[in-house]
């Protein structure tokens, strides 16, 4: 299987992971009014498809460094000799991630990229860094945990910005209604998407707490001489996603976080473009995930470590936030105070990620 032989390549893979994890959600935005529950069926298909392609290409090359952390088998050999416990750990990681990701997608539909990612992925980052360091210590703990604290502050600032922005919109709507006077009462009430402005934050927090747990499960699947390699782990992980999607998704279709319940028949009414965007979103996310798993499995001499690999990958928050702010204009018309909070959040995230990136160099 293909594994990086230098620290620079391993770090590059984590950057690719960051870009993919921060960009895949744009495919959901591009799908228009397509419900996120329906989008997610195609997304899970894209994840499995990408994992299979990677397993039978990059994962089937039989050469590997002698000091590889884990098995040096090709994908099929790896699956044939590894234990069921390791495969169960990876699949369980996929199930846990899947529920977390559905909550994240729901949060995006309610509050947008620039809120869901900083809050949800930020919490996941903190939980993941702590648990991954306990399972496999790597990097300077002062820089690791110091960076996690800085990112926690960034999360709080994001929540404050969203709260202030929502309050400003409500005040503006109230002012407009009072100015319009009696005419406003004659117009049909306009439904506010997502109900409470804090619903997106609550969904993001639930997503983050769960998402911080999936990566440690994947690391447990790679333990031992006959543990899973990164490509086999990604495949088992994808199987966990595809098997659990109907269970989780049908729940949200019948008890939606916003809007009316949607039937499975609506899925077949989607356009080819909407279905392809869902599959593409899943494939983009999976490319980032496999890059991250491979970087964490590099030889000991160049290994960035699972805690650092996961943490840098979660710099996706910055990418997604910039997409939300610059392209999708999610904070359009925000007051100066809200803009200051958003700028402060970005600065804190950069500082926290810089500390996490430097952690392997000062072990």
92-101, 113-122, 207-216, 259-268: range with lowest mean pLDDT: 113-122
The pLDDT value given to residue 66: 44
Only one residue has tokens 């997106």, namely 200
Q: What is the pTM of this model?
A: 0.80
Q: pLDDT digits over 224-245, tens only? A: 888 999 999 999 999 999 999 9
Residue 261 binned pLDDT confidence (cut-offs 50, 70, 90): very high
Q: pLDDT digits over 26-40, tens only? A: 999 899 889 999 999
79-83, 183-187, 206-210, 336-340: range with lowest mean pLDDT: 183-187
CA distance 240 to 252: 18
The pLDDT value given to residue 24: 93
Q: pLDDT digits over 290-325, tens only? A: 998 998 888 877 777 676 776 677 677 778 878 888
**Shortest CA distance to 166 belongs to which of 202, 192, 203?**
192
CA distance 99 to 209: 11
**Shortest CA distance to 287 belongs to which of 320, 313, 312, 305?**
313
Look at residue 345 and tell me whether its pLDDT is greater than 60: yes
**Shortest CA distance to 331 belongs to which of 186, 165, 132?**
165
Give the start-to-end residue ranges of the domains of the chain. 7-173+194-362
Look at residue 94 and tell me whether its pLDDT is greater than 80: yes
- Cα atoms in the 13 Å half-sphere on the side-chain side of 195: 13
The pLDDT value given to residue 358: 80
**Shortest CA distance to 280 belongs to which of 57, 12, 27?**
27
Residue 110 binned pLDDT confidence (cut-offs 50, 70, 90): confident
The pLDDT value given to residue 33: 87
- Look up residue 1 and give its two tokens: 């299987």
Only one residue has tokens 């910005």, namely 161
Rounded mean pLDDT, 136-142: 83
Residue pair 106/246 in contact (Cβ under 8 Å)? The answer is no
Look at residue 64 and tell me whether its pLDDT is greater than 60: no
- More confident position, 210 or 197: 210
**Backbone φ, ψ for residue 202 (5° rounding):** -65, -45
Residue 65 binned pLDDT confidence (cut-offs 50, 70, 90): very low
The pLDDT value given to residue 232: 95
**Shortest CA distance to 113 belongs to which of 14, 24, 42?**
24
Q: Give me the percent of the chain exceeding a pLDDT of 90.
A: 41
Residue pair 37/109 in contact (Cβ under 8 Å)? The answer is no
Q: pLDDT digits over 145-200, tens only? A: 998 889 889 888 887 887 788 788 777 777 777 766 554 445 444 444 444 557 88
């Amino acid at each position: 299987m293909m594994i990086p032989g230098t620290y620079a390549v391993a770090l590059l893979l984590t950057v690719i992971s960051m870009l993919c994890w921060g960009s895949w959600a744009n495919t959901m935005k591009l799908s228009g009014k397509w419900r996120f529950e329906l989008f997610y069926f195609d997304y899970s298909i894209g994840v499995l498809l990408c994992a299979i392609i990677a397993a039978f290409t990059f994962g089937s090359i039989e050469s590997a460094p002698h000091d590889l952390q884990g098995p040096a088998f090709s994908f099929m050999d790896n699956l044939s000799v590894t234990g069921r416990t390791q495969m169960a750990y990876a699949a369980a990681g996929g199930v846990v991630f899947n529920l977390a990701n559905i909550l994240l997608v729901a949060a995006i539909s309610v509050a947008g990229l620039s809120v869901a990612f900083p809050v949800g992925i930020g919490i996941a980052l903190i939980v993941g860094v702590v648990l991954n360091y306990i399972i496999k210590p790597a990097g300077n703990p002062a820089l690791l945990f110091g960076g996690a604290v800085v990112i926690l502050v960034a999360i709080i600032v994001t929540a404050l910005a969203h709260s202030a922005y929502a309050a400003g919109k409500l005040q503006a709507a109230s002012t407009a209604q009072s100015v319009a006077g009696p005419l406003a009462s004659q117009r049909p009430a306009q439904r506010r998407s997502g109900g409470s402005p804090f619903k997106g934050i609550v969904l993001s927090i639930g997503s983050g707490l769960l998402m911080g747990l999936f990566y440690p499960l994947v690391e447990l699947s790679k333990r031992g001489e006959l543990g899973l390699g990164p490509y086999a782990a990604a495949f088992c992980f994808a199987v966990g996603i595809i098997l659990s999607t109907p269970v989780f998704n049908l729940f949200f279709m019948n008890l939606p976080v916003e809007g009316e319940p949607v039937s499975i028949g609506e899925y077949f009414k989607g356009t080819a473009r909407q279905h392809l965007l869902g599959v593409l979103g899943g494939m983009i996310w999976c490319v980032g995930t496999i890059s991250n798993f491979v970087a964490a499995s590099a030889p000991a001499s160049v290994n960035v470590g699972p805690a650092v690999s996961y943490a840098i990958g979660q710099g996706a928050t910055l990418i997604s936030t910039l997409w939300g702010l610059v392209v999708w204009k999610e904070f359009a018309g925000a007051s100066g105070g809200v803009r200051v909070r958003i700028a402060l959040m970005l600065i804190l995230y950069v500082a926290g990620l810089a500390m996490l990136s430097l952690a392997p160099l000062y072990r």
